[in-house]
Structures are given as C-alpha cells and as structure tokens.
Amino acid sequence: MNAAKRLEIFRRLHEDNPDPKTELSYSSPFELLIAVILSAQATDVSVNKATARLYPVANTPQAIYDLGVDGLSSYIKTIGLYNSKAKNVIETCRMLLELHGGEVPQTREALEALPGVGRKTANVVLNTAFRQLAMAVDTHIFRVSNRTGIAPGKNVIEVENKLMKFVPKDYLLDAHHWLILHGRYVCVARKPRCGSCRIEDLCEYKAKTSDD
C-alpha cells in the first residue's frame, strides 16, 4: 500500500470520528491501567460492568490494595481469569505505592515491570492516558492492518513497528482507536462488512478477493 492510500484511509477515519476514545470507562490513568489489565481475554463491556461496581468503592492504589485479593475478586468475578487478574492487580497496586508514590509511571519500561502489564497494555496506557505516540496492537488491529494492507506483518511487534512508521504523523496519536473500532464494528473477523466500509475502495483485501 502506498503513502497516498494510507493518508486517505486515516483522513476518512478522522472525518467520521474526529475525537476517538477507548470504550473502557475510566476517569484517571490508574483506573485505565486497572481496566486494561482486567480486559485481557475479556470484553470492554464486561470490564465496564465490573469497574462500575468496583470504582465507587475503590479507585486508588491504596484503596484497591486494602481490599486484598479476596475482596477484589468479589467485584471482578464476572470477568474471565478473575483470580489471576486479582492477584496481578493487588501486586501492581503494591508496586505503585512502594515504587511510584501511588502514581502510574509514564514509561513503557516501568509499566511493563508491573504484574499483568505487557507491551500492549503499556502502549494503551501511554497512548490513551498520557497521549504519547504508542501503538497497542490487539487482535482487531492486527487483523485490520494485515487485511487492508495498511501494515502487514507476521506478528504483533512487526505490525506495531510498521504502523508507527507508516501511519501519517498527523493521525498517529489517534490511530490506535480508529483501527480498533474499525476492527470491532466493520472489519470483523469472520464476515467483514465491506459494503458499509468507508475505506472499501482503498482496501487491498477487496482488491485481492476480486482478483481471485
């Protein structure tokens, strides 16, 4: 895919949604961090239901740490893998209190040192909470990047690096949200909704399938 096509793709995505947001509910970097940890192998909807119960009771590292694993588990038991997630969140809260003065760190290295925080989670927090240029590649973004031809790659790191290189700079800060929403609602896994897609004429998946 050439640069002109990529530019037009993101111009249209921006035109349709000038101020894209994550679908996770949060009101602070800490709330976002915990929500993203909980969202692994779970839907944003299920996480939002759990945090709607949790955050009015405890939404700081100290408050959640004080709940303990069992106390936290009672709020998040509707989410998959809640036992291991509760342990990770409690340990993360302890580390935030002891190492970071209760604040969420703003570097990938410090974030990835927290339990339950991998590269993708760190990138979400850096980009969404702190508005840093970072690209969190989840299953939706991986699929859209490969299927459309925007940034094809064999693994998430390759796709991340290509997106950081190829997405036009004016659109890079919000590209994560546009791509994830596109993958979630339009370019879905089994039957992509090509007929209602704003970038159908620019997409290399359509070009390939029409040639077959």
Cβ atoms within 10 Å of 166's Cβ, excluding its own = 16
Of 161, 111, 173, 107, nearest to 137 (Cα)?
161
Return d(Cα 140, Cα 7) in angstroms, integer.
20
Alpha helices in the chain (DSSP H): 3-16, 29-38, 44-54, 61-76, 82-99, 108-112, 119-124, 139-148, 156-166, 172-185, 204-211
Return d(Cα 137, Cα 190) in angstroms, integer.
19
Check 85, 138, 174, 206 and give the catalytic one.
Answer: 138
Residue the block writes with tokens 């339950």: 116
191 is catalytic: no
5 is catalytic: no
Check 120, 162, 201, 211 and give the catalytic one.
Answer: 120
- Using a 10 angstrom Cβ sphere, with 0-12 exposed, 13-18 middle and 19 or more buried, the burial of residue 150 is buried
Are 124 and 35 spatial neighbours (Cβ–Cβ below 8 Å)?
no
Active site residue ranges: 120, 138
